[in-house]
Amino acid sequence: MLARSQVFLLLALFALQSSALNYGYHPDSALTLGIGFNPSDLSVAKPRCIDYDAVERLDGEGSTESNVDITLIKNQRELYSKIGFSAEMSAQGFFAKGSAKTSFLDEYEFHDDTTHFAIIAWTDHGRQALKNPRLKPHAQALIDNGAHEDFAKRCGTHYVFEESRHSKVFAIYTIKQMNEEKKRKFEASFDVGFTFADLKIKGTFESFMREAFHMNNVNLRVFTIGGSGVTDLGDLVTNHMEPEKVKEVLRNYVSKMTDRKGAPSRFKAGSMDAFGWMDHQNVPTLKRDIVLKEYFFLIKGLSDKKSRLNDVLINRDTDYAHLSDENVQGYEGQAEKLATDLDRLMTAAIECFEEPLNCKTPTYRPVSIKWPVEAIVFNSDSRIFRMKAGSPEGYMAPVFSKGDCNKQRSAAFLSGCITAEEVKDLRRLNAAPSCTLEGELVSWGLCE
């Protein structure tokens, strides 16, 4: 029959399981099964003060699930959530070290004219947990002697009692230079582009991707967690322009992964109070982490906007020479406001980081910025280039409707008035040609 103290400990452990803290993967995280830590600094592991009988597999032997997801990612918060990264860890690193980029995910920027989508494949190798966790004698002695602060400094205030292992690979596409209409159409056709529910829309999606690749407006980056690394993903080199084939490559990759090649990717942690430790300081670190995540995503988004505004202004006389003085003045005003807003938000976030009792959730709401289209660089031998540079009257041609624009380009190409490369140049300019009956190119006009 169990002693009263043993019954109390079991009840405390059951309560611990139901109120567990959950953390995701991060390359800088010190979390691992059985380790002690302080939630205010997830990058530092404490000496192991936890003893246990064994590590138990909770889901039996072998992989419990393999799958592939294809998903749009609309902001930094969704990126962290869908990839399974720890935003708490990035926020702590950001405010503790002042680093703008705390992981490779932070290199991604989200703007009104940019779209990201990811193909995520994973194998779930199951969960494992500590069996009968308890304090080691020297750690228990600190609590028994009332040295609760010394215990927290030595062993931490929490410990990891369960972890999940995965092999993951994700391919993240970034599509730039998307106007509002293109972005809306792309997002509307995205799901059916992969599920093939509508062959016409599927064709539209594939055509869009091919055009974006040819325009050098698409970037693809591939990352792995666990597994055997990107060296085993050589097929992506030849198939990167076709997301459906990329999906199959990633599925094949993770289907071969075993538990031995998996990596800890999800952690459950509980408070040391399950073992009798008492928190005499009552610092609201958990509330602080929640608030700091809000500041982190907000400041990251504003920093990205400020960086891009600075790029526009620095390259005013080169890449963005086509901007009017009024446009530039508008961007200068937005850059100054962002700098002021960032300073104010950073001050509030640092105060929250250093004084958790003073944490206040940010109420700031960022505004959208209409980004300029980058100037198109043409081959100097192109007739379109010569006409654009030397024939201002070319701009005076009638403005074509969207439907007429496509017909005009197609008819001009079929009649031999323009070449296939010139069709591409005109599409980049959102323009259409005017040709004589003899098939001579005389001017071009903008499309609606």
Digit-coded pLDDT (tens) for 339-368: 999 999 999 999 998 888 888 999 999 888
65-86 pLDDT tens trace? 788 888 899 999 999 999 999 9
Distance, in Å, from the CA atom of 358 to the CA atom of 294, rounded to the nearest integer, reads: 15
Please give the model's pTM, rounded to 2 decimal places: 0.75
Residues 146 and 88 in one domain: yes
Residues 110 and 237 in one domain: yes
The three state secondary structure string of 273-315 is HHHCCCCCCCCCHHHHHHHHHHHHHHHHHHHHHHHHHHHHHHC
DSSP strands (E only) in 199-262: 218-225
Nearest alpha-carbon partner for 168 in 127, 119, 129: 119
Residues 159 and 265 in one domain: yes
Residues 157 and 41 in one domain: yes
Q: How many CA atoms lie within 13 A of 236 on its CB side?
A: 22
- According to the model, what pLDDT value does residue 234 have? 66
131 within some domain: yes
166 within some domain: yes
Q: Which domain holds residue 441?
A: 383-446
- According to the model, what pLDDT value does residue 381 have? 61
Residues 16 and 99 in one domain: yes
- According to the model, what pLDDT value does residue 9 have? 43
Residues 42 and 157 in one domain: yes
35 within some domain: yes
CB proximity list for 14: less than 8 A, separation 6 or greater: none
Distance, in Å, from the CA atom of 55 to the CA atom of 128, rounded to the nearest integer, reads: 6
202 within some domain: no
Distance, in Å, from the CA atom of 129 to the CA atom of 140, rounded to the nearest integer, reads: 21
Structural domains counted in the chain: 3
- According to the model, what pLDDT value does residue 12 have? 44
Residues 263 and 303 in one domain: no
Residues 71 and 126 in one domain: yes
Helix extents (H) in 29-114: 76-83, 87-97
Residues 92 and 232 in one domain: yes
Nearest alpha-carbon partner for 33 in 227, 164, 166, 225: 164
Strand partners, 218: 175
Residues 310 and 232 in one domain: no
201 within some domain: no
- According to the model, what pLDDT value does residue 202 have? 63
146 within some domain: yes
- According to the model, what pLDDT value does residue 404 have? 80
8 A C-beta contact, residue 255 and residue 124: no
Distance, in Å, from the CA atom of 326 to the CA atom of 303, rounded to the nearest integer, reads: 23
Boundary-marking domain end, from 275, 293, 309: 275
8 A C-beta contact, residue 116 and residue 243: no
In what helix (H) or strand (E) does residue 29 lie, and over which residues does it extend? Answer: none
Boundary-marking domain end, from 302, 323, 358: 358
- Residues of the chain with pLDDT below 70 are 1-19, 62-64, 97-102, 191-204, 214-215, 230-232, 234-235, 237-239, 321-322, 374-382, 385-386, 388-398, 402
Residues 332 and 228 in one domain: no
194-222 pLDDT tens trace? 554 555 556 667 777 777 776 678 888 88
20 within some domain: yes
62: helix, strand or coil: coil
Q: Is 436 exposed, middle or buried (0-12, 13-18, 19+ CB in 10 A)?
A: exposed
374 within some domain: no
- According to the model, what pLDDT value does residue 5 have? 41
Residues 253 and 396 in one domain: no
